[in-house]
Amino acid sequence: MTAVIHIDPEAIHPVVEGEWHRTRLTGIPAPGQGITMLCGLAAVAEFRPLSDRRAHGVPHQCRRCEAIYRREHGIAPSPVRRRS
């Protein structure tokens, strides 16, 4: 008997150097597969347990990825101003 785990590729937000990004994934990337974020940053996929992320603090959202995602989905720009 198997237990199927369904993962929505749109819910995958890769974290690179403490910043989480958005992508246009159509499937789950294989470990070692190159992926490109909406902001243009490219990295290699790696999977780790959630507890590992918690050990390194809360990742911050990539502003460029979020702005591109909002524009592509007809969502108004974020009214929240963030410090640089």
pLDDT digits (tens, 9 = 90+) for 6-61: 999 999 999 999 999 999 999 999 999 999 999 999 999 999 988 887 787 888 99
Mean pLDDT of 66-71: 95
The tokens for 10 are: 């749109």
Q: For residue 70, what is the enclosing H or E element? A: helix 63-72
pLDDT at 21: 98
pLDDT at 83: 60
pLDDT tens for 12-25 read 999 999 999 999 99
